[in-house]
Chain A
């Protein structure tokens, strides 16, 4: 059993610590309510400011020099088939019979010798529809359907672990059922991992969207991903910090992945958690320039569900790795600790706090309650104002810059309207926090196939665990 599993979100020590802290705060709030409020505001403001500074630092570091790993088409094709290792592709899917056909054609487009490719469709025992649909199309010998026996927790990471047990590949990767990977991606990953040497155990390929122009939400989403994969992750690489992996298109050396205990079936962002665990055991992760296109979530409710799961998972990962702080500090070093707190913990917390801070600001302008002047003591008040003004402006500015660097000048308006997206993030953050407390392991399903015309069967039924 993985010591850092999110099976229990809080360890006994953490639970006790939290209780003691809450009791102390409670006592303080009764005796000296203003001091407690002032302290809370001060801590929140400093943390928030630090998260913004960290973000700017990442973009700056990412923009200096080249931190994406590039393998040219020619180099990728140059490797003779005989020199290629066996590659296992795991495709977990749940209740998406309609997407399976498309999946087969996308995977079929992968430029990799079939005799060295091993595709596992990981389907759940109770999902007869998808199993049947898959059996109908998966005719080629290198594609196998693995039925994951019914057991709790029924999550994507558990399915992947089942797949990994049977995998014979030297390298392993994961795709979601609706993914459209760059056909040369596997070859690029092989070349890159061989070039980088044994210290690199994983490569994260860039994720992009094929339905960017569907509506405002997909545009925001695309812009966010562009910033994430082109600026923030390269920034983490540049600063030699842990990389929280994204759900698909991560390419591993299978042996090290097994040694590490693979995915935590209880963590709802097992990918981010794995990124941290890789860093803890001293392995390195690179970002590979090779895009896998995914479906951007175009529906408001569906988006909130997906995002709240991500945020919940980030919070879980953060708590899980703070479990034995001394070991964490020893293994991750100060850079890793910064990343863990400001990036993994910071991303969902900032989304949540945004709403509170905006509400406070609006309240101030509407009513100017004198108590607020008391709560915000001067240095933190100024810091707060700076965060409010420059923090927001900086993030909008970075989005405009992303629109430019991803060569999508038409997304200028979308970038300038980013605050609307933040409001959605805040909602998701609140939902995530709520669920973390009351329903930690619950996996919010994301419906896929929303980009397909409404007559298509998959748009109604398609749902997976990705």
Chain B
């Protein structure tokens, strides 16, 4: 009978992802139904949408400011908007996608735990510690690129682990591809693109027998096999950006890009995170401790045990996930990032995997009681992250983005913005304008373009005739300018009226404001 029970538990362990899929689906539907789908998610969806349904559908409309994978994976499903308009108009598709990707991430993480031979019960708990970590649940349902990024990183961890265990060069191919894909999701993948080949080089060099020259040559080939997909992804994305929009790395150099946004918001950022290195480090540490209080302990324990047992497998997770974490910490400390809480998200799977390595490293001949003790301690150290994250998410100073969805005040503000954008779209649709009648900067108006029933009425920044329309709006059939009130780089407002928002004429213009009375949009007739 015990065999039956065991078999049934094993089946339950293997099938637990179904339960998480349900949780994530629920979260996604909640975000969508509450009108809380974040701007970053909607903007990824909009980038995909332009390539098919804008006035000038072409692939380059996907844009070069954000890495393309989160938008590309939406493309095949976009035509379904004909059946369910909410998929694009209200951002339903993008949240469903993140739920699916996060479910896959859980499955891969579980597989990694199985491959490092974590016993069944511990594996169940650890998978749950990741899957039900509040931060993971939130990002499973909000449509942001974190789910896609984590999936790519976990696939890289898995392949790298297989390679470290088996040593077949062919298994480096999926590792390299996963890292390359991760760069397609987010530019932080630059860190593993550089770090993983180094690990591979050193591993092969150390463990290959024979003369030094041969070890060096084999290590070099292994490193190249791992590095090529990532290097190619970086080079191609840069080249495509250079050829199409004239910038090698638009994420950093575009006026809509990360660097521009950070410098435009530098005052606001430093107000919260502090100005000098010490306060900033303190702020980052608080965030990290909030997401995983015992990370450092588990890291130290796992590395010491790995060293002791001469088992390098823990380096797969440490290199892939740790390099991303290190990259984000350095970017934040050097003042080139927003310091969002989500930039530390890789610490969550890393903590779970470290706990898994600690548990498997303590094996017989260590006494059973000591083994159980270690396992319980490792699980406790991992699980403590759940309450501490719940507290962190409710602190608007640490979870600045998340509190806009999760706290009552923040959610009210987000919902209000959603409402205003949908109102603008509805009012414009009611005007029954012809194609290309409204000139607007899609970097700010993406939610309006998405929500509109008549997306072709807009001339948007990705359109190839946008520069011509901006230079001579009436000559190009434009009848209205739709201007954001505060967009720091609104090309239409700045191009027509200069950098000072106060110069926008109000006479004869139609405006939309949020509930608090802040002006959001101005429609200037020509």
Residue positions of A touching B, CB distance < 8 A: 63, 378, 382, 389, 393, 396-397, 400-401, 403-405, 409-410, 412, 416
Contacts and interface: CB of A to CB of B under 8 A. Distances in A.
B232 interface: yes
A410 B221 CA distance: 8
Contact of B225 (A63, A389, A404): A404
A400 B220 contact: no
B47 to A, nearest CB: 16
Contacts of A382: 59
Contacts of A405: 169-170
Given A378-B58, A382-B59, A401 B217 contact: no
Size category of the binding interface on chain B? 10 to 19
16 contacts: A382-B59, A396-B228, A397-B173, A397-B229, A400-B221, A400-B224, A400-B225, A401-B169, A401-B173, A401-B225, A403-B221, A404-B218, A404-B222, A405-B169, A409-B214, A409-B221
Contacts of A400: 221, 224-225, 228
B58 A409 contact: no
Chain B, interface SS category: helix
B22 interface: no
A246 to B, nearest CB: 24
Contacts of A397: 173, 225, 228-229
B188 to A, nearest CB: 23
B236 interface: yes
A400 B226 CA distance: 11
Interface string B162-189: 0000000110010000000000000000
Nearest to A397: B228
Contacts, number: 39
Interface string B186-218: 000000000000000000000000000010011
Contact of B170 (A393, A401, A403, A412): A401
Contacts of B232: 393
Contacts of A389: 236
B218 A409 contact: yes
A401 B58 CA distance: 35
B201 to A, nearest CB: 12
Interface in B429-474: none
Contact of A409 (B173, B217, B228): B217
The 9 lowest CB-CB distance pairs between A and B, nearest first, are A409-B217, A409-B221, A404-B169, A409-B218, A404-B221, A412-B221, A393-B232, A63-B170, A397-B228
A400 B173 CA distance: 11
A63 B169 CA distance: 11
A223 to B, nearest CB: 12
B169 to A, nearest CB: 4
Contacts of B173: 397, 401
Interface in B219-267: 220-222, 224-225, 228-229, 232, 236
Nearest to A412: B221
A279 to B, nearest CB: 28
A401 to B, nearest CB: 6
Given A63-B170, A401-B173, A412 B220 contact: yes
Highest count of chain A CB atoms <10 Å: which of B214, B222, B224, B232? B224
A178 B38 CA distance: 70
Contacts of B222: 404
A350 B354 CA distance: 49
Contacts of A401: 169-170, 173, 225
A405 B229 CA distance: 18
A396 B225 CA distance: 10
Highest count of chain A CB atoms <10 Å: which of B58, B173, B220, B222? B173
A389 B180 CA distance: 14
A239 B90 CA distance: 45
B438 to A, nearest CB: 25
Contacts of A416: 224
Contacts of B217: 409-410, 412
Highest count of chain A CB atoms <10 Å: which of B217, B222, B229? B217
Contacts of B224: 400, 412, 416
A309 B214 CA distance: 38
B470 to A, nearest CB: 23
A396 B217 CA distance: 18
A63 B232 CA distance: 23
A403 B58 CA distance: 39
A417 B59 CA distance: 31
Contacts of B58: 378
B166 to A, nearest CB: 13
Interface in B96-129: none
